[in-house]
Amino acid sequence: MQRTGSKELPELFAERLTKFIAFKLAEYVEPSKKGTPKGEAVGFSLTKYQATLFTLRESLIDNEDLKAQAKKLGISYGLLRKWRSEEKFKEVVSQHEKEFVTSLTTSDIYSGYGVIPGADVMEKAESMLLQALQSKKKESARRLIPLIYGQIQEELRKSDATAADLGKYQMRVLDHAIELLGDRQSAIKHRKDVISLLSGVRKTLAKITA
């Protein structure tokens, strides 16, 4: 297994996820009902917000079941199931995924691990994700890797990367899009992700040919 410094990539991944969750909880300000018009959504309580972060952690590294999560949150199993079925809840979890991926693809988190900032970051972030996820978490990897590719594409377009570097990453993005489309179930489930990836390729090609 690939190593960076004294830590294996999965360990660094789990460490980053733990810190990310702690940071999100620390910065969250629970909304108040005071002053909110009757019938208007107040927002998530701290407990419900924590449940969204538990969902993120479960999808990536934990095998903790819902009953155990509900017990930690101090709520009923039925209420947790209800929350997780809500579209707004799913949207918050999706936002967590995007923000966590952004944290994985910033070069500063690799300082001290012998990683060269810049183009290498995507490869290391991808490797970290794949090694950290067990085989039964393959669907989570399929969900997050497109986000990694999209994030790096955006950063490369903003940078002074050469046409060769841009082309190299577009090939990797296209390979991943083809892999997803080749699996009918994944093609349906990750349709939006594939569209986003291919839109990024189009923008990058526009920059190269401009």
Q: How far apart are CA 12 and CA 61, in angstroms?
A: 12
Q: What percent of the chain stands above pLDDT 90?
A: 23
Q: Count CB neighbours of 36 within 10 A.
A: 12
Q: Where are the domains of the chain?
A: 3-98, 134-209
- Give the pLDDT mean for 106-114: 50
pLDDT for 113 = 42
Query: DSSP letters of 60-110?
Result: HT----HHHHHHHHTS-HHHHHHHHTSHHHHHHHHHHHHHHHHHHT-GGGG
Taking the model in full, what pTM does it have?
A: 0.71
Find out whether 121 and 105 touch, Cβ atoms under 8 Å. yes
The sign of the dihedral angle between the CA atoms of 22, 131, 51, 67 is negative
Q: What is the pLDDT of residues 114-142, one digit of tens each?
A: 443 455 666 676 777 777 665 556 677 77
The reported pLDDT for the residue numbered 190 is 79
pLDDT of 83 = 96
**What is the phi-psi region of residue 35: left when phi exceeds 0, alpha when psi lies from -120 to 50, beta otherwise?**
left
User: Phi and psi dihedrals of 3, rounded to 5?
Assistant: -125, 150
Instruction: Share the mean pLDDT of the chain.
Output: 78
Model confidence at 17: pLDDT above 80: yes
Q: Could you give phi then psi for residue 78, rounded to 5 degrees?
A: -65, -40
Residue 162 pLDDT: 79
State whether the Cα torsion 60-62-68-71 is positive or negative.
Answer: negative
Between CA 43 and CA 208 the distance in angstroms is: 43
Question: Which tokens is 117 given?
Answer: 């900032």
Residue range 173-188, pLDDT digits in tens: 888 888 888 888 878 8
**Average pLDDT over every residue of 86-109:** 83
3-state secondary structure of 3: strand
Contact 4, 114 (CB under 8 A): yes
> At residue 195, does pLDDT exceed 80?
yes
CA distance 196 to 180: 13
The CB density around residue 205, as the number of other CB atoms within 10 Å, is 13
